Amino acid sequence: MDVLELGAGNGEVSEQIIKQNPKFIKRYVTTDLSKVGVEKLIEKGFESYQVDAQDLARFDDNSFDLVFCIDVMHHVEKPRQMAQEMLRVSKKYIFLIEANGLCVLRKLHELMPSQKAVGEKSYTPWGYLSFFKSNKLKEISIKPFLFMVPFTPAIFIKPMILLSEILEKLPLIKWQGSGVVIKGEVGG
């Protein structure tokens, strides 16, 4: 499987994936908007390119089996354009973890000047889904979840997962988790 990770930053997620030594990954490519980020990724041994997630012209149509990103789309100026580029370069799957625009705490957080300065702008689930409208998309789903803060102490991980799973079953607060998981299957 050829994998493209958009907005890989310092490679934290990339390293965790590769550390698992998944035999099904044939090629793992990372991108970041920042030149410094790309240099760090290359230093860590990744094939990496300085690319804007909204313009993946560097890559041909249907280049990757999986195109994914974590916490990137809600930072770009043109999320619909990014979504369409993900679909264009993917031949099988897309996967995203994103900010949940229905989460009241997240929306309040986005009002802070420091968050406005870095372009924090979450969208509703139906907003995200609208970005991916395409004849190429066979199936897409979105579900809420409680996002884990990076470097969460190990002792809190299982309780946080349990809490997230419980909250996802409660109709009135189901969508108050700070994140959403978006999965799509692409067809030719």
Residue 172, pLDDT above cutoff 80: no
Calculate the average pLDDT of the chain: 91
Encoding tokens for residue 170? 């409660």
CATH of span 52-186 = 3.40.50.150
**Residue 179: its pLDDT value, please?**
86
Tell me, yes or no, if the pTM score tops 0.85. Answer: yes
Confidence bin at 173 (pLDDT 50/70/90): confident
**Strands 64-70 and 90-99: what pairing?**
parallel
* Higher pLDDT, residue 49 or 110: 49
Residue 1, pLDDT above cutoff 70: yes
**Residue 149: its pLDDT value, please?**
61
Q: Which of 59, 57, 54 is nearest to 72 (CA)?
A: 54
What gap in Å lies between CA 15 and CA 162, rounded to an integer? 25
Residue 147, pLDDT above cutoff 80: no
In the chain, where the domains are located: 52-186
**Strands 47-50 and 137-145: what pairing?**
unpaired
Encoding tokens for residue 57? 């012209």
Residue 44, pLDDT above cutoff 90: yes
Give the least confident one: 48-57, 103-112, 141-150, 163-172: 141-150
Q: Which of 33, 52, 29, 53 is nearest to 42 (CA)?
A: 29
Got the DSSP string for 114-137? Answer: HHHHTT---B-HHHHHHHT--TTE
What gap in Å lies between CA 152 and CA 176, rounded to an integer? 20
Residue 14, pLDDT above cutoff 80: yes
Distances (CA, A) of 103 to 36, 122, 172, 179: 32, 9, 12, 8
Confidence bin at 131 (pLDDT 50/70/90): very high
Residue 81, pLDDT above cutoff 70: yes
What gap in Å lies between CA 161 and CA 168, rounded to an integer? 11
Instruction: Specify the DSSP element, H or E, that contains 29.
Output: strand 27-32
